[in-house]
Structure 1
Amino acid sequence: MPSHDPIDLWLRPERTGVGPKPEHSRAGIAAVAIDIADRDGLPAVSIRRVAAGIGSGSASLYRYLKSHDELVELMIDTVSGEYALDPSSKKPGIRLLDLARQARAIMHRHPWLAPLLLTRPSMGPNALQYLEHALSAVELVDMPGPVKLQTVAMMTAITSAFVQNELSSTNNSELKRAGANARHQYLSELMLSGDYPLLSAAFTGEHEPEHPDDMFDIVITNYLAGAERQFSGGSS
């Protein structure tokens, strides 16, 4: 494994039995970095700023982390510890929906997280505990193991995309309203033309729920139902 791979972080013990006792912990370093990212965004998280936050120098921080990528890896895994992974006898779909709801809440608490989960999922201890718990929800579902893992990963990706859209909409609410009005007028004219009967029927059907919580539940539930049908031969 290349030394620059951030997963290398988990191959090293936090402290060894030789040398002086470390002045700082991974948990303390992660807490400072996450606080910076929550307030000022991920680009504001630098080795120098985090080191200053824990009362250390940049060179000293490299005693604990080999790179900025390892710092980000540590941050992702730390917030992955915010899940409540209580065992449950509920049906698989309900358990996974609960995990997706928790993921959405975590991504809202840490707005920098959602884009990262699409490109660099953590393999740290908290992230692995989450995956183990999610897979336990579908343990008895008739799917191959790799497909179960893909199903959980896709659920995370859908949640991440949903949250990024929510955050973008919140940050550009006035622009969104203006754009929505323009799109509505444009689509109304197209529907009246009669050139797109199927599209027109789709737009004039049952309206989507107005509350984001309801919409999120529908999106995740429909995905999970479709995934189960696909790998059970289309039944149920």
Structure 2
Amino acid sequence: MPSHDPIDVWRRPERSGVGPKPEHSRGGIAAAAIDIADRDGLAAVSIRRVAAGVGAGAASLYRYLRSHDELLELMVDTVSGEYDLGPSDKPSRIQLLNLAQQGRAIMRRHPWLAPLLLTRPSMGPNSLRYLERALSALETVDLPGAAKLQTVAMMTAITSAFVQNELASAAHSETRDGEVPARLQYLSELVLSGDYPLLAGALTGQHEPGRPEEVFSSVITNYLAGAGLPAAAGSA
């Protein structure tokens, strides 16, 4: 039996011309699934639970979706609609940094999203509008089309990895008042051991790390510079 590609959901009309009038919409189904994932995590999202969320039977939901993977496809594309994709006359690197910052905020609002973007990028309308907007920011940059796509894909991957690390670090840092987080204590022990002088040098004698949003902006800016986008790229 051939595998089912979840992007097939976009090949089918939402409302078929035959059969009873649909009682639900893809948007409503996706919203119910996103609410579950935001509250209880992605593992809690099932066809049965989403069906209950929209007041339907589990079997009836298969009138709108053919698989759980199609549900994930709808979820990813729906939250991709949270981007502000308005035009801008700012330099290309500034435009892309803005998109990356928006992406970080969206992934933090929906902690289940970041891992999915690394493994199953959506091909839905909101996701494609985002891609078109990102490519428009690169329109005046002298790079082949394939390289532009790779630049956007890598920016998304870096953002996803950053957010996953950010959320994991926050979870590890949740300690009782006055208690030193275990990882910080371990790093301190490594620095004092003298076994890792280069790591110790990187961790000591430096200014205090900036706020996470500042660190993120620096990471993305450095990546885009390395990808061939100077600060004034795309400027008038």
User: TM-score, with normalisation over the residues of structure 1?
Assistant: 0.89
In structure 1, the residue matched to 2:190 is 186
How far, CA to CA, are the matches of 2:119 and 2:109 in structure 1? 19
Change (3 A) 1:118 1:43: same
Aligned-pair distance for 1:17? 2.1
In structure 2, the residue matched to 1:35 is 35
Aligned-pair distance for 1:19? 2.4
In structure 2, the residue matched to 1:21 is 21
Report if the CA contact (8 A) 2:190-2:200 is conserved: no
In structure 2, the residue matched to 1:226 is 226
Report if the CA contact (8 A) 1:47-1:58 is conserved: yes
Structure 1: runs of 5 or more not aligned: 231-236
Q: How many residues align?
A: 225
Deviations 1:23-69 (A, max 9, x none): 00000000000000000000100000011111111110000000000
Aligned-pair distance for 1:205? 5.3
Is the deviation greater in 141-150 or in 203-212? Answer: 203-212
**What CA RMSD, in Å, does the superposition of the two structures yield over aligned residues?**
1.9
Q: What SS is found at the alignment partner of 2:181? A: helix
In structure 2, the residue matched to 1:69 is 69
In structure 1, the residue matched to 2:122 is 122
Normalized per residue, which structure has more helix?
1
In structure 2, the residue matched to 1:234 is none
Change (3 A) 1:78 1:189: same
In structure 1, the residue matched to 2:181 is 177
How far, CA to CA, are the matches of 2:167 and 2:200 in structure 1? 29
Structure 2: runs of 5 or more not aligned: 231-236
Structure with more relative contact order (C-alpha pairs < 8 Å, separation 6 or more): 2
How far, CA to CA, are the matches of 2:103 and 2:207 in structure 1? 26
> Percent of pairs identical after alignment?
70
Report if the CA contact (8 A) 1:208-1:215 is conserved: no
Report if the CA contact (8 A) 1:30-1:78 is conserved: yes
